[in-house]
Amino acid sequence: MLKPNSRQARRSSGGQFAIVASRYNARYVDALLRAARRELAAAGAAAVEVVRVPGAFEIPAVAAALAGSAPGRFAAIICLGVIFQGETSHARQIGDAVSHALVELQIRHQMPVIHGVYLFDNEAQARVRCLDARHNRGIEVARTAVEMARVMTRLRLGRGV
């Protein structure tokens, strides 16, 4: 069931965030990106670095480079992309590969790598989740990034969650 985003934004500790966003299916990804940037700004993020890549498959390589660039540089990395399922299994293979790679990055670097790469069956699904302000998943991934950054900071400081 698709749930609308809540109206309550969480405050950030002012950390720096990175967003890796695909240029492919730009109409939808750009809407996710705008919503995520607005939400991070509203949460008080100190800085947001955006890196654009050709497609969803390229997202993990750039996310890995950012995660390894300087430990602690980013509080979280948000990954945004839109994939449409076609007549073959190619889209699902890309989606699965990206998902597995992002999980591996989180574990290896012990930092939040937020999965906002969506596989849709059709444009109607994408319109609701990317263009509709009530359901825009860009808001959701930004809020997840802020919350996970806070959780990881507390764990590093030995204060639990």
Q: Which residues are catalytic?
A: 90
Residue 144 C-alpha from the chain's centroid: 8
Residue 116 C-alpha from the chain's centroid: 4
Residues 6+ apart with CB under 8 A from 74: 15, 16, 17, 18, 49, 66, 67, 111
Distance CA 116, CA 112 (A): 12
